[in-house]
């Protein structure tokens, strides 16, 4: 699990620009915000991966464009474009050279009443899980492990419409971008149907069901639910079941693909603070855990679901152990001051000793400038050593808003 880890290219010191573009003449209105990230990240690899220290300096510009049409020939249409431009320099380690231009999201959307359709590269998430979402195997890393980690979307087409009793059904056909051990693409298209109902009562309950599979991922069924308890507490649960995790390819021999019916699940409790922060605790069960022999194989156990390219993944469960406990704390106004923010997260393995902890402190020095400092520490029993490529990671970042 990539707790608190930035992208392989490294961390950025961020300069974020936020503003609104002037409405153009005609039916289309554009809203823009931009940011530039520049920073430094120092990473220490674990002993099985050489134990070396390498540093990444990065400068990244981010632009977010949203165009909306309210009338005329394009009424109901909108577009979202999120281009990124990055420059990186690596010292003391392997040269990481991702493409300098990236598009985490770029899609068009059309809405008419309760019906909506979209096409393009998009990131989608749902369910109450705090970290890994069992019902969403299309995106095994949902980005919540680090506030600085931007998860790329995947090419897809979506269609959603209303159901009775406040429900909504969504259909997705996507290119899952799954790859094998050699980095070659596996599988075809991924398909998913999700039905969700939300109540408008004081409890704000949510219930959803998912059926999905394809593109290197085995067919699976999933469900999730969330309910408010009073003014501050929220309880949630999520689970999926399938005969195997991956479908075909060079991973057939793994325990998680043996053909036996397996499931994974999470259950959590959250407490909302008056300051806008949150305390959360979660228990995780992974029926697709790696065997002892698989844990000793770095080609399988080292960040199992991570692909070699940004936005790509392998058809493996992202967690290597069977049982975990997660705790997190977020505060957007630390010390009662909205200029200070803090995020702390710790994932504890319960089968064998392991802890992945992450903390980030942020300070808004002024309206247009925010500084960030983040630290990750990974500790694991010897049997889990190859599943932890990084021992620790430190980054410093600044965000400047235009």
Give residue-wise pLDDT tens across range 200-237: 776 789 999 999 999 989 999 999 999 999 889 999 99
Looking at 13-27, 95-109, 127-141, 329-343, which range is the least confident one?
Answer: 13-27
Statement: residue 96 has pLDDT above 60: no
Statement: residue 22 has pLDDT above 50: no
Q: Give the pLDDT of residue 11.
A: 31
Question: Using an 8 Å Cβ cutoff, are 215 and 178 in contact?
Answer: yes
Range 111-131 average pLDDT: 94
**Distance between CA atoms of 306 and 178, rounded to whole angstroms?**
9
- Which token pair is 216? 């290197």
Per-residue pLDDT band for 1 (boundaries 50, 70, 90) equals: very low
Per-residue pLDDT band for 13 (boundaries 50, 70, 90) equals: very low
Helix (H, G, I), strand (E, B) or coil at 338: coil
Per-residue pLDDT band for 248 (boundaries 50, 70, 90) equals: low
Percent of the chain topping pLDDT 70: 89
Q: Which of 212, 287, 225, 219 is nearest to 255 (CA)?
A: 287
Report the run of H or E that residue 130 belongs to, with start and end.
none
For CA atoms 155, 157, 162, 164, give the dihedral sign: negative
Average pLDDT, whole number, for the chain? Answer: 87
pLDDT higher for 59 or 73?
59
Range 383-398 average pLDDT: 92
Q: Give the pLDDT of residue 146.
A: 62
Name residue, tokens 């990444």. 56
Range 122-142 average pLDDT: 89
Percent of the chain topping pLDDT 90: 59
Question: Using an 8 Å Cβ cutoff, are 277 and 331 in contact?
Answer: yes
Q: Give the pLDDT of residue 151.
A: 87
Statement: residue 364 has pLDDT above 90: yes
Q: Give the pLDDT of residue 153.
A: 93
182 Cβ neighbours under 8 A, 6+ residues apart: 250
Statement: residue 304 has pLDDT above 60: yes
Range 191-203 average pLDDT: 89
| pTM given for the model | 0.88
**Distance between CA atoms of 153 and 139, rounded to whole angstroms?**
8
Which DSSP string do the residues of 250-275 spell out, in sequence order? TTTTSGGGSSS-EEEEEEEEEEE-TT
- E-strand ranges in 139-261 read 154-163, 167-174, 190-198, 206-214, 217-229, 233-242
Q: Give the pLDDT of residue 225.
A: 97
Statement: residue 2 has pLDDT above 50: no
Range 42-66 average pLDDT: 91
């Amino acid at each position: 699990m990539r707790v608190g880890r930035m992208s392989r290219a490294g961390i950025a010191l961020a300069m974020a620009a936020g503003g609104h573009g002037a409405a153009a003449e005609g039916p289309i209105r554009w809203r823009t915000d931009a940011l530039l990230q520049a920073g430094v990240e120092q990473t220490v690899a674990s002993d099985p991966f050489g134990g070396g220290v390498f540093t990444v300096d990065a400068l990244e510009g981010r632009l977010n464009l949203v165009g909306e049409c309210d009338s005329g020939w394009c009424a109901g249409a909108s577009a979202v474009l999120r281009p990124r431009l990055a420059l990186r320099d690596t010292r003391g380690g392997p040269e990481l050279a991702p493409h300098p231009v990236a598009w985490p999201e770029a899609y068009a959307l059309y809405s008419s009443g309760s019906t909506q359709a979209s096409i393009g590269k998009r990131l989608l998430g749902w369910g109450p899980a705090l970290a890994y979402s069992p019902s969403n195997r299309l995106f095994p890393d949902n980005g919540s492990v680090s506030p600085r980690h931007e998860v790329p979307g995947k090419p897809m087409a979506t269609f959603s419409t209303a159901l009775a009793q406040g429900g909504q059904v969504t259909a997705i056909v996507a290119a899952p971008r799954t790859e094998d051990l050699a980095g070659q693409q596996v599988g075809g298209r991924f398909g998913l149907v999700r039905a969700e109902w939300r109540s408008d009562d004081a409890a704000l309950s949510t219930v959803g069901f998912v059926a999905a599979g394809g593109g290197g991922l085995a067919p699976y069924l999933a469900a999730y639910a969330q309910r408010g308890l009073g003014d501050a507490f929220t309880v949630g649960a999520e689970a999926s079941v399938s005969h195997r995790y991956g479908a075909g390819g060079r991973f057939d021999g793994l325990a998680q693909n043996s053909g036996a019916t397996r499931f994974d699940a999470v259950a959590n409790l959250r407490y909302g603070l008056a300051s806008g922060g949150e305390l959360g605790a979660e228990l995780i069960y992974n029926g697709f855990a790696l065997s002892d022999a698989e844990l000793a194989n770095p080609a399988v156990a080292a960040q199992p679901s991570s692909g070699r390219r940004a936005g790509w993944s392998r058809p493996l469960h992202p967690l290597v152990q069977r049982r975990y406990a997660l705790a997190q704390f977020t505060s957007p106004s630390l010390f009662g001051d909205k200029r200070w923010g803090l995020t702390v997260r710790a994932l504890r393995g319960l089968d064998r000793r392991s802890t992945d902890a992450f903390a980030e402190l942020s300070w808004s020095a002024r309206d247009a400038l925010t500084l960030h400092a983040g630290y990750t520490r990974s500790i694991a029993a010897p049997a889990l050593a190859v599943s932890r490529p990084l021992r620790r990671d430190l980054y410093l970042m600044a965000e400047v808003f235009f």
